[in-house]
Structure formats: C-alpha cells, structure tokens
C-alpha cells in the first residue's frame, strides 16, 4: 500500500456514483494525477546519459626510462561522423600528472570540472600538500565506481600517468566506467587495447631495459600509425604527453607519414566493385 490515498480505491466497489452524482472513480484518478504532477517544469529535461554521443577513441601509454608517455588523437566523433578534429583529450592535472580520456567528451568535461574543484579545495587548505598521480588515480577510481553504483556512470575510460615529484615513482594506471582499475607498463583503451597493446608489449615489456625518450616516442608514433590504419574513428593528428619528475609537457598536434598504395589491391576499396 502506498502513501497516496487516492490509489487505495473505494471500500465499496459496487457503487461508482457518490452522493453528489459524480463518477468517483474519475475523481480518484484525477486526484492521483494531480499528486503525481511535479511543480518543477524542468524535471523531465534532466536525464542521465544513456549512451555516449560525442566520443573519443584510443589512448595509449607506456613507461620509459625517465617517466611516462601518453598519446591520444584530436578527433571527437559524432556517431560515425568525424565531427570535431581539434579536441585535446590529454589533460594536465597539477604539475606531474596527465590523464587521457576515451569515451564521451561531455562526461570528460565533467570530470575536468570535478578535478579542478578538488585542486581548489586542496589549494585552500594551504598545508603544503599536493596531490600526485597516485592520489588522482585513487580519486578517479572512487568517482567512477560511485557513479556506476548510482546507475549513472560516466561513459569514459581514463589512462592516468604521472611521476611523484618527491619519490620519483612513476604511475601508469587505467580506470573505466565500471570502476575497473589496473596498472601496467603499457596501457591502451578502446581499439588500442586490441591493436596497439601487442605492439607495446613486444616493443616495451620484452626489453631488458626500458626505452629512452627518443625510442619511446618512436614506439608511440608506430602505434598511432597502426591505429590510424585500422581504427575508423581515429585521425592522423595526435598529441603526446611526457611526464617526468620535473613536470609534464603536452606537445602540439603532430602527424605521421602514411602509405595507402597497398589499398589499390583490396576488394571494395575506392571504385572497385569486384
């Protein structure tokens, strides 16, 4: 039984007309509708994200000798339309942390605002403490799992990379909309988790010594080229973030040379029909 008395019904169901000659069942239904109506005209316009709309694709990351290197292209797709081609999906958090975002771009903007508020609160404490990459990773994992538990997830997958300025310890970790978390020497989201991870593991994890900065950059470029070849939602325009103990730097957009001559012999390419 609910608290709404108009939904309880009449004790005498055989009498539909009341003493005033009106149809009491209609009056009860009208009363129920009036109680159910809200006074806020904007409530129906406030909805939870049901699916990603404007999305970014893969983010890759690796550990190298001096720190962490991340990369993500500048494309945000509206469904299958390559709509926005100058979106920065690498975001600096503090001085020694960068996060890369795949998934819905509006949810990514919300996370940026949450991180800004977090750092403002931390600054106002004025206790000399700063948030490092490990703390940012823990915060994002808690935030994503909380939103998932509320059945209102943030439709993103994040790669968190950074180096602690005091201890010099590097952090490369992953967190997604389900609250799934892990850390590794190489990480990829989306299509990169299937295409780029085998390359990264062979070129980075199978080495006896970690790559230096120049070698790491070449590995990143190789992976981004393969992703551009294979991923229909990618773009040959990407940024690379380098995070070391001295700070983080996000490069201007760059591209790699590609070769499409081999496609002439592929059935279905261009004007071919046979």
What's the pLDDT band for 237 if we cut at 50, 70, 90? very high
Three-state secondary structure call for residue 3: coil
CA angle at residue 236 from 268 to 155, to 5 degrees?
Answer: 95
Of the residues 6, 49, 130, 222, only one is catalytic, namely 49
Round to whole Å and give the CA distance between 148 and 190: 19
| 242-263 per-position pLDDT tens digit | 999 999 999 999 999 988 777 7
Query: Which residues on adjacent β-strands are paired with residue 47?
Result: none
Round to whole Å and give the CA distance between 7 and 10: 9
Identify the pLDDT of residue 35: 47
Which CATH number does the domain 54-254 belong to among 3.40.50.720, 3.60.20.10, 3.40.1130.10, 3.90.1150.10? 3.60.20.10
pLDDT of 129 above 90: no
97 labelled catalytic: no
Average pLDDT over residues 18-23: 50
Please report, for the chain, the start and end positions of each structural domain, with discontinuous segments joined by +: 54-254
What's the pLDDT band for 59 if we cut at 50, 70, 90? very high
Q: Which of 34-43, 101-110, 168-177 has the lowest mean pLDDT?
A: 34-43
Round to whole Å and give the CA distance between 238 and 217: 12
pTM value surpassing 0.85: no
């Amino acid at each position: 039984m609910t608290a709404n008395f108009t939904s309880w019904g009449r004790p005498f169901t055989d009498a539909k007309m009341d003493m005033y000659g009106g149809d009491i069942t209609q009056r009860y239904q009208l009363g129920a509708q009036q109680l159910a109506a809200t006074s806020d005209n904007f409530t129906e316009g406030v909805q939870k994200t049901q699916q990603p709309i404007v999305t970014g694709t893969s983010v890759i990351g690796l550990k190298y000798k001096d720190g962490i290197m991340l990369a993500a292209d500048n494309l945000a797709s509206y469904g299958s339309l390559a709509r926005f081609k100058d979106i920065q999906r690498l975001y600096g958090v503090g001085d020694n942390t960068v996060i890369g975002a795949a998934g819905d771009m509006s949810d990514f903007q919300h996370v940026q605002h949450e991180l800004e508020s977090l750092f403002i609160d931390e600054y106002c404490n004025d206790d000399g403490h700063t948030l490092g990459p490990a703390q940012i990773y823990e915060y994002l994992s808690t935030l994503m799992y909380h939103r998932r538990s509320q059945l209102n997830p943030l439709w993103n997958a994040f790669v968190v990379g950074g180096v602690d300025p005091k201890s010099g310890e590097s952090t490369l970790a992953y967190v997604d909309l389900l609250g799934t978390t892990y850390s590794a020497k190489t990480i990829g989201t989306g299509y990169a988790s299937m295409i780029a991870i085998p390359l990264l593991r062979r070129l980075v994890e199978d080495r006896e010594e970690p790559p230096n900065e120049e070698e790491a950059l070449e590995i990143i470029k190789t992976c981004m080229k393969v992703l551009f070849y294979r991923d229909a939602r990618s773009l040959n325009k990407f940024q690379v973030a380098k995070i070391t103990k001295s700070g983080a730097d996000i490069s201007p957009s760059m591209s790699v040379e590609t070769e499409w001559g081999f496609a002439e012999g592929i059935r279905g390419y261009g004007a071919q029909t046979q």
